[in-house]
Amino acid sequence: MLTSTTRRKRTAILLALAAALTVAAPVVEARPGGGGSVGSRGSRTFNAPSATTTAPGTAAPIQRSQTSPSPGMNNPGMQAPNQGRRFGGGFFAGLLGAGLLGALIGGGFFGGLGGIASFLGLLLQVGLIVGLIVLAVRFFRRRQQPAGAGAPYARQSLDNGPDPRAQPGPGGLGGMMGGGTMGGAQRPAQQRPVQIGPQDYQVFERILGDVQDAYSREDMVTLRNIATPEMAGYFEEELRANAARGIVNRISDVKLLQGDLAEAWGEGQAEYATVAMRYALKDVKLDRNTNRVVGTEPAEATEIWTFVRGPGRPWMLSAIQQTA
């Protein structure tokens, strides 16, 4: 028969676990892409895009993609999907599991859970562990940043056209083509420069608004027309998950605030353009039955979108990455 002390210990353990998981759980945003990094960028899927004025930091690595990582992914500019998540999740789970095991056998994290003071001490220790893990994850992500990221190179603004100060970098393609190397690694020989002009930027801005609008209306027909089948599949999964939770996203007033080209290239018959975009929007989550507001999202977002087109075909959204 369980004693009252044993019950209190188990209750304290469960409360501490719930609090720790709440702190450690990632915040999933409701806009298209779920606030994650998904899609494909051809042979550069697992290369970090070049930094730009709009997105000067490192782009979050692709977490979900139908593109398989190359067997030779050894250079600093390439990362396997979910690498950061495996590090944080596995390390945290190991520490937490060890602590809970110690608590169950009477040892606790650092000496047991005797009374309220020990319970508060456990919460403090869990908070410290989570803080250390967050710092460690950020440290390793910074170390994994490509050596060439952030280096000056020619860019174009989505709003203002070519930057007159832009000069070709050493060994690069120059102009608005993006860099010729990434993280010190030579680009595959089959890649070629692609010219991006004002009309292309207008298309990118229009797709930004059309994706948000169609997602808000849960219009999968439109999403399939302006996004690759892979991206449309991810959007459909998110919309089904919303429906299962009884919520719906309402996105409006999307406005591009700033944007510039990170890189543009061609491989095979496809052409790619990766663009950093900072935009404003109104994004609320509503109860599907009552239209009651159950959540709101940040009024501004900075994301890195990649577009692809084939010969004689229009640009389509092929990837969304968050900024780290």
Q: Which of 39-43, 110-114, 267-271, 312-316 has the lowest mean pLDDT?
A: 110-114
* Per-residue model confidence as pLDDT tens digits over 2-21: 565 566 666 555 555 544 44
Q: Is 85 helix (H, G, I), strand (E, B) or coil?
A: helix
* CA-closest candidate to residue 306, choices 159, 208, 184, 197: 208
Cα gap 121→63, rounded to integer Å: 36
Contacts 24+ apart (CB under 8 A), 155-158: 155/52, 155/53, 155/260, 155/261, 156/196, 156/201, 156/260, 156/261, 157/258, 157/259, 157/260, 158/201, 158/204, 158/205, 158/256, 158/258, 158/259, 158/260, 158/261, 158/275, 158/277
111 pLDDT higher than 50: no
184 pLDDT higher than 60: no
pLDDT of residue 254: 97
pLDDT of residue 79: 37
- Which residues share a beta bridge with 273? 264, 307
* Residue in this structure with the two tokens 């720790």, named with its chain if needed: 20
Which CATH number describes the domain made up of 38-67+155-182+190-322?
3.10.450
Q: Kindly indicate the confidence band of residue 164, based on its pLDDT and cuts at 50, 70 and 90.
A: very low
Cα gap 82→80, rounded to integer Å: 7
Q: For strand 191-193 and strand 185-186, is the pairing parallel, antiparallel, or unpaired?
A: unpaired
pLDDT of residue 308: 98
Cα gap 189→177, rounded to integer Å: 16
Contact 305, 319 (CB under 8 A): yes
Q: Which residue type occupies 134?
A: V
301 pLDDT higher than 70: yes
pLDDT of residue 70: 65
Predicted TM-score (pTM) above 0.85: no
Q: Which of 49-53, 131-135, 136-140 has the highest mean pLDDT?
A: 49-53
Cα gap 273→41, rounded to integer Å: 9
pLDDT of residue 143: 52
Cα gap 14→6, rounded to integer Å: 12
pLDDT of residue 165: 34
* Per-residue model confidence as pLDDT tens digits over 196-232: 999 999 999 999 999 999 999 999 999 999 999 999 9
Q: Which two tokens stand for residue 271?
A: 């052409």
Contact 220, 232 (CB under 8 A): yes
- String of DSSP letters for 37-66: -EE-BTBTTTBPPPP-SS--SPBPPPSB-S
Q: Which residue type occupies 309?
A: R
Domain residue spans of the chain: 4-24+85-143, 38-67+155-182+190-322
